Chain A
Amino acid sequence: MFATLAFHWQIYRRLIGAQLRAQMQYRVSMLFEIAATALIMSLFFVSLALVMQRLENIGGWNLAQIAFLWGMVETGFGLMDMFFSGFDPAFFGRRVRQGTFDELLLRPVSVTVQVFGDQFVIRRLGRIIQGLAILTFAFSTGDIAWTAAKIAYLPLVLAGLVLYFGGLFIVGATITFWTVESIEAINVFTYGGSEMLAYPMHIYPDILRRTFTYILPAALLNYYPALYILDLPDPMSLPGWLRFVAPLAGGLLFAGALAFWRFGVRHYHSTGS
């Protein structure tokens, strides 16, 4: 067990190492691109901040509180997008379409580890930097009553977000085994989900809010933890413990996605092209 794990880790490190070396060949160009990504993505938050000079709040939340939601989801999604790029349905779908997924099956190493190591996009650092900058803004301008428990919970919430969106990427990738093309509807849950979580859930129409609370637990990942950390009341008056289940919700979705992925790999038929 331990030996296999160590072996997988070694393979993963080698695959990622090759990716890093390749992408860092044009070092200046890469650094420039990371900076450009961070800058351009920050522009969206800055423009929201400008509009909020005139319209002071969104559903009763001020800029610092929105910044907390926004910073968390951007950092989480950015981290996920870096580590799970191999499963990005658009990227992975191409492998299935062109039949190059078969190559991975021929190698005597875990397919899952290979797909994880297939793609590691350094450029995504730009999005992560942007997320962290917005979080810093949220921490410095909002007066958050910090406690040891809140500080300890913060990285767990981030982990929940990474697992949740990573799980969705894996589900999207697995679906391409049957559809061959990446289905656009998955974008609703991945990119749409990250957009949705950047704002307080109570501003959305009931049906949307309920779907993303009870069917997919998106609300538990960012909004409920934010209620706890920012000491805000829950307009829906749901049980208080919902604020503390973010890593669990993300982890469960991730585990389900992995099971679906294994099922998909077992039932994979090559496109034969």
Chain B
Amino acid sequence: MRIFWIITWHSIRRHLTYRAAAWAGLITNIFFGILRAAVLLALLGARAELAGVTAQDAITFTALTQAIIAYLSIFGWYELMNSVHTGQVSGDLLKPLGLFRYWLAVDLGRAGVALLLRGCTIMLIYAAFVPITTPPTPAHWLALAVSLSLAWYISFAWRFIVNLAAFWSPNAAGVGRFAFGITWVLSGFFLPLRFYPDWFIALCNATPFPAMVNTVIEIYLGLVHGQAMLYLLAQQVVWAIALYIAAQLILRAGIRRLVIQGG
């Protein structure tokens, strides 16, 4: 376990060195946030709310989703894939902890820095300029912390699985773009899931994607309470375990196929 934390620590230090890039990224995040808020407000029009989501909630939705882009690597993550293509993975496989846990440690450092530097800053900037919703009760804050952690774990496991495509295909980046694109929509990142027709919400809920983004949003905005909130968290736990097992099975099959090109 010590090795895990050492790798995480190194990853944190590595990502802390890119502070200038993080600040520049903020500008883009906030610009897109304003565009998305304008679209959502125009969609809501004169309505006071839709499916429990008010105009202020809609603005908060854009703040929150923009804030977790970096934390969850929503636009994609290709590091493991690249390590397979360059052959670096052969060295990583020799490390005294499994490939999954190695990358989990690396990603933990990356995500932690992203959450603090990008995520919190975006929320604070929004809060300084526009009225935004905050979690209604201490229980919601607590659930939010749990949910954010689980969301990261599920998103990591999913990104890990997508990257494993590199063991089978030299064109795994294309698979990645496709898989990550689906994630944007079905997770409730692109538009709030509550705005869709019921059949589409049901379809999304049959996948692990809402557990990455939508659950965090529902809890943060206080759209769920008590038992329903616990149920959402339980769902996240189930998806976390399911994706972990899937990742292990696919990884084992992939390693058996792995041929490192010499040179």
Chain A residues near B (Cβ < 8 Å): 26, 29, 32-33, 36-37, 39-41, 43-44, 47-48, 50-55, 57-59, 123, 181, 183-185, 187-188, 192, 195-196, 199-200, 203-205, 208
Contact = CB atoms under 8 A, between A and B. Distances in A.
A203 B38 CA distance: 6
B263 interface: no
Contacts of B47: 55
B39 A43 contact: no
B177 A37 contact: yes
A205 B34 contact: yes
A51 B24 CA distance: 32
B196 A204 contact: no
B174 A199 contact: no
A204 B200 contact: no
B131 interface: no
Contact of B24 (A48, A185, A199, A208): A185
B138 to A, nearest CB: 33
The 5 nearest A-B residue pairs measured at CB = A40-B181, A203-B42, A184-B24, A59-B42, A33-B174
Contacts of B182: 40, 43
B28 A184 contact: yes
Contacts of B1: none
Interface string B69-92: 000000000000000000000000
A47 B28 contact: no
Given A26-B171, A40-B178, A54-B195, A204 B28 contact: no
Given A54-B50, A55-B43, A40 B177 contact: yes
Contacts of A192: 28, 31-32, 35
B190 to A, nearest CB: 6
A48 B184 CA distance: 13
B31 to A, nearest CB: 5
A40 B76 CA distance: 14
Interface residues of B, number: 32
B16 interface: no
Contact of A57 (B45, B171, B178, B195): B45
Interface string B188-224: 0011000111001000000000000000000000000
B43 A51 contact: yes
Residue from B34, B38, B41, B171 having most chain A Cβ neighbours under 10 A = B38
A46 B171 CA distance: 27
Given A33-B174, A43-B181, A47-B196, A55 B38 contact: no
Contact of B174 (A32, A59, A187, A188): A32
B27 interface: yes
A26 B170 CA distance: 11
Given A40-B181, A54-B50, 11 more contacts: A40-B177, A43-B182, A44-B190, A47-B190, A54-B197, A123-B174, A184-B25, A185-B27, A203-B38, A203-B39, A208-B38
A47 B171 CA distance: 27
Nearest to A46: B185
B39 A50 contact: no
B217 to A, nearest CB: 15
A192 B66 CA distance: 14
B196 A195 contact: no
A29 B42 contact: no
B178 A36 contact: yes
Given A55-B45, A184-B27, A187-B28, A199 B39 contact: yes
Contacts of B195: 51, 54-55
B147 to A, nearest CB: 23
Contacts of A51: 43, 191, 195-196
B123 interface: no
A55 B41 CA distance: 11
Contacts of B38: 199, 203-205, 208
A220 B155 CA distance: 40
Contacts of A58: 39, 42-43
Nearest to A43: B185
A203 B27 contact: no
Contacts of A26: 171
B94 interface: no
A123 B171 CA distance: 12
Contacts of B42: 58-59, 199-200, 203
A57 B31 CA distance: 23
